[in-house]
Amino acid sequence: MEPIIPLFSIPVALSALAALLLIARARGAKVLGWLVLIGMWINLILAIKLLAPVFTGSVSGYDTNQVLASGFKIDGPAALFILLTSLVSATVLSHARLFFRREREGNEELDDSALTVYYLFSLLFHISMIAVFICDNLGYLWISIEATTLMSAALVYFNRDKHALEAAWKYLIICSVGIAFALFGTVCFYISSKYGAVPGGSLSLSQLAEVAPHLEPTYVRLAFILCFLGYGTKAGLFPLHSWLPDAYSEAPAPASAMIAGALLNCALFAIFRIYQVAYCLDNHAFYQELVLWSGTITVVAASVFLVRQHGIKRLWGYSSIENAGLLLVAIGLNSTPIFLLHAVNHSIAKVALFLLSGDIIQHAGSKELSQIKGIWTSMPVRSTLFAAAAIAVTGAPPFGAFISEWLLLTGCVSQGRWLLAVLLVLAISLAFIMIAFHTGRILGGGAPKEKATEPEHAGFNGIVPGALLIAALALGITTGPLVLGWLQ
């Protein structure tokens, strides 16, 4: 059975519907919201059903030479990321309905067409992200990643004010220039394969990995560095991260949740793929050091930036940069299981955190940390969830991220990289302390007197983040004993 076309069918149909609604200038964002909610959950179930054979091992992966043009492939990591992205989209778009209902109270500008635009671009964004994971061709990979930038730029600009404009412009330009370097790198990979490794040249990642020792060394080195910088820009690699906190902070919460929970993985997945090629080269130690140290420096820098933050969502932006660094270290250790596990743990907790932050910003009426204080008294349910999500993101037990970060550190140590491990422990601890400190002030701290905060009507708003947190907890509890058993 060919899974690729069914994977896209529901999001494509829904986005076509949204586009039709926009063209016809019809109202009906409410109905569309419900359809998207139901559709994306069916989409998730469909994805599980289609990709189950990859996980149970009955097929090692899908190659698609027979159907469309060649150049697409779904193997284990790709299947996992497709499921993760589908889960993130389903949960975010479910919560978005509640978020925007509250947002529309007293905001005339947020009319039906604005909401339809949101759904349209979220769906297109989802489609472009799924496209990233099925690519086995470097060229298609580049096209898909640039498409994710273009689609999400519209989401960053959603609020249509000056700050959103600034964030969207920086996002578009910095990421596009970064991606242009990745295009240069892609070209160099192609050229490197033409020196006898593959007659006529190849962009296929699996083919390049097979013939890696025969690739032209100068071009491969150039190719890897350019692609790494290019996709690294998109992943928030220090010092190319400057767009990331702005974009996360200015996008509406459900969009930031999708960007943080799913888009980050796309860029890292691209790096993961090219690293798999580089790892097959004779002199792979150079590439390994490059990735490991870039990752570590990113983690250290991000945790230092966490100390002085004034915006709640900027805080989580830097936390995402920190986690991107950790994921890079996992890639550098060439440990696919740790990379996948940490990506899943981080995405699930971060989505819950962004969705709850959106609710808190609505409640407090500001995204400045100085204005958000003492919310525990007025919204106890979501504050509790918020605290749990913040703890889960930092990688504290008993949540899943603790296990993956711990595995990462033991991985560093077992390869004899003590300096790396020490730096990472220090940075992770600093990040934990700062996030705990900021979260404590948000929850406790004297509430600003002038704002009469009405008591919370949590309603259904706690369901999606709550469910995600239960999943994060379950990941921690189930993977924990496995790891312990493995250690003994």
Interacting residue ranges for another protein, rule: CB under 8 A: 69, 71, 137, 139-140, 142-143, 146-147, 149-150, 153-154, 157, 160-163, 165-170, 172-173, 176-177, 180, 183-184, 187, 190-191, 194-196, 201, 203, 216, 218-219, 245-246, 249-250, 305, 308-310, 314
CB 230, min distance to another protein, A: 11
Query: Residues 172, 178, 179, CA angle at the centre, nearest 5°?
Result: 85
Distance, in Å, from the CA atom of 206 to the CA atom of 228, rounded to the nearest integer, reads 18
Token pair 């959106």: residue? 358
Tokens of residue 80, six digits:
């996992």
Q: Smaller CB distance to another protein: residue 310 or 457?
A: 310
- Asked whether the beta carbons of 356 and 341 are under 8 A apart, the reply is no
DSSP state of 158: G
Question: DSSP string covering 432-458, please?
Answer: HHHHHHHHHHHHSSPPPTT--PPPP--
Q: Smaller CB distance to another protein: residue 95 or 314?
A: 314
Tokens of residue 392, six digits:
């889960």
- What is the distance between the terminal CA atoms of the chain, rounded to a whole angstrom? 41
Q: Smaller CB distance to another protein: residue 3 or 230?
A: 230
Element containing residue 62 per DSSP (H, E) = strand 62-63
Query: Residues 57, 63, 66, CA angle at the centre, nearest 5°?
Result: 135
- Asked whether the beta carbons of 32 and 119 are under 8 A apart, the reply is yes
CB 239, min distance to another protein, A: 13
Distance, in Å, from the CA atom of 116 to the CA atom of 21, rounded to the nearest integer, reads 7
At a CB cut-off of 8 Å and minimum separation 6, what does 252 contact? 99, 100, 103, 118, 155, 158, 159, 358
CB 220, min distance to another protein, A: 11
Q: Smaller CB distance to another protein: residue 242 or 429?
A: 242
- Asked whether the beta carbons of 306 and 325 are under 8 A apart, the reply is no
Q: Smaller CB distance to another protein: residue 109 or 450?
A: 109
Q: Smaller CB distance to another protein: residue 81 or 181?
A: 181
CB 180, min distance to another protein, A: 5
CB 343, min distance to another protein, A: 25
Token pair 């600093």: residue? 430
CB 476, min distance to another protein, A: 31
Tokens of residue 405, six digits:
């970060």
> What is the dihedral sign for C-alpha 296, 422, 485, 87?
negative
Question: DSSP string covering 169-188, please?
Answer: HHHHHHHHHHHHHHHHHHHH
Q: Smaller CB distance to another protein: residue 123 or 421?
A: 123
- Asked whether the beta carbons of 40 and 11 are under 8 A apart, the reply is yes
Distance, in Å, from the CA atom of 39 to the CA atom of 31, rounded to the nearest integer, reads 12
Element containing residue 73 per DSSP (H, E) = strand 73-74
Question: DSSP string covering 194-205, please?
Answer: TTTTSTT---BH
Q: Smaller CB distance to another protein: residue 147 or 458?
A: 147
Q: Smaller CB distance to another protein: residue 74 or 220?
A: 220
CB 441, min distance to another protein, A: 17
Q: Smaller CB distance to another protein: residue 83 or 369?
A: 369
Q: Smaller CB distance to another protein: residue 370 or 478?
A: 370
CB 392, min distance to another protein, A: 24
Strands (E), 202-351: none
CB 194, min distance to another protein, A: 4
CB 296, min distance to another protein, A: 21
**Residue 217, preceding bond cis, omega within 30 degrees?**
no
Q: Smaller CB distance to another protein: residue 196 or 440?
A: 196
CB 55, min distance to another protein, A: 30
- Asked whether the beta carbons of 352 and 311 are under 8 A apart, the reply is no
Tokens of residue 330, six digits:
């996992």
CB 113, min distance to another protein, A: 15
